[in-house]
């Protein structure tokens, strides 16, 4: 195990799950993936997080993203917990939960931070692109449930900035103005790429309407 960094290839693994045995890279196929860990089954914050992820299924699908959860409990426990999640969160969990009782995935992805939480995973998030490259990592403590709208917002930014020479400013969300990357300086290229124009607040801070809107 070594620390995984942005730009690294997401390690492949084979592990059991609520959807059967998963060979990770094969399962991911050409999709984006959100791989996210939870401290344990039948815990309150985790229950709300999995419920929220299930409720956002259409939003993940719209973006070509497959969510997959990790919890270091056996698959029978996961199945019983899913029943609870569905009942209490009024949803249907429709993505796999890895049964990582042997901590294979947790170790591979460095999800156990023993000085924070002994022997269980913290709330790690890995956003992985279709080439299996790790594009974002987030780490939250056990006491803080994640904001899944933020995870979708990061995916929106990654997908937009992969296809246009822009970056997204603080608190950006779909439809807001974006910034032009500093490497684009040629006036002809600027006019071609940004036909709606741009505002140079400073030479290095140029705002333009979201190009694909």
Active site amino acids: 46
Least distance between ligand BEZ and beta carbon 95 (Å): 18
| Contact status: 144 vs ligand BEZ (CB under 6 A) | no
Q: How far is the CB of 45 from ligand BEZ (least distance, A)?
A: 3
- Quick one: which segment of 39-47, 68-76, 86-94, 179-187 binds ligand BEZ (CB under 6 A)? 39-47
Please pick, from the candidates 90, 116, 143, 199, the single residue that binds ligand BEZ as defined by CB under 6 A: 143
For residues 7 and 60, give the distance between their C-alpha atoms in angstroms, rounded to a whole number.
Answer: 22
Taking CB under 6 A as the rule, does residue 46 contact ligand BEZ?
Answer: yes
Among 10, 54, 142, 151, interactor with ligand BEZ by CB under 6 A: 142
Which of 5-13, 36-44, 65-73, 165-173 is the region at the interface with ligand BEZ (rule: CB under 6 A)? 36-44
CB of 133 to ligand BEZ, least distance (A): 29
The answer to whether residue 134 forms part of the interface with ligand BEZ (CB under 6 A) is: no
Q: Is 45 in the site for ligand BEZ (CB under 6 A)?
A: yes
- Closest approach of ligand BEZ to the CB of residue 47, in Å: 7
Q: Where are the alpha helices (DSSP H) in the chain?
A: 24-28, 44-55, 57-62, 75-89, 104-108, 148-163, 187-193
State the burial class of residue 199 (Cβ atoms within 10 Å of its Cβ: 0-12, 13-18, 19+): exposed
Q: Which of 71, 96, 70, 92 is nearest to 83 (CA)?
A: 92
What count of residues does the chain have?
213
**Does 44 sit near ligand BEZ (CB under 6 A)?**
yes
**Cα separation of 112 and 37, whole Å?**
10
List the one residue out of 149, 123, 137, 174 whose CA is nearest residue 53. Answer: 149
| Residue listed under structure tokens 């006019």 | 191
- Whether the Cβ atoms of residue 52 and residue 137 lie closer than 8 Å to each other: no
Nearest-angstrom CA–CA distance, 180 and 80: 49
**116 binds ligand BEZ per the rule CB under 6 A:** no
By CB under 6 A, tell whether 39 contacts ligand BEZ: yes
> Cβ 17 to ligand BEZ, closest distance in Å?
19
Residues lying near ligand BEZ in the complex (CB under 6 A) are found at 39-40, 43-46, 142-143
């Amino acid at each position: 195990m070594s620390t995984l960094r942005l730009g690294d290839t997401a390690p492949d693994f084979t592990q059991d799950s609520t959807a059967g045995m998963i060979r990770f890279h094969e399962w991911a196929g050409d999709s984006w993936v959100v791989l996210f860990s939870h401290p344990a089954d039948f815990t309150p914050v985790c229950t709300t997080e999995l419920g929220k992820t299930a409720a956002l299924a259409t939003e993940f699908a719209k973006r070509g993203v497959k969510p997959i959860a990790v919890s270091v409990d056996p698959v029978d426990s996961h199945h019983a917990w899913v029943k609870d999640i569905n009942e209490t969160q009024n949803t249907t969990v429709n993505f796999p939960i890895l049964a990582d009782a042997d901590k294979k995935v947790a170790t591979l992805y460095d999800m156990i931070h023993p000085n924070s939480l002994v022997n269980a995973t913290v709330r790690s998030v890995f956003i992985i692109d279709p080439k299996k490259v790790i594009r974002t990592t987030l780490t939250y403590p056990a006491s803080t449930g994640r904001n899944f709208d933020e995870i979708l917002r990061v995916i929106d930014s990654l997908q937009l900035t992969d296809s246009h020479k822009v970056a997204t400013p603080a608190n950006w969300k779909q439809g807001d103005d974006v910034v032009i990357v500093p490497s684009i300086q040629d006036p002809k290229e600027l006019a071609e790429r940004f036909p709606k124009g741009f505002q140079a607040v400073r030479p290095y801070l140029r705002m333009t309407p979201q190009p694909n809107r």
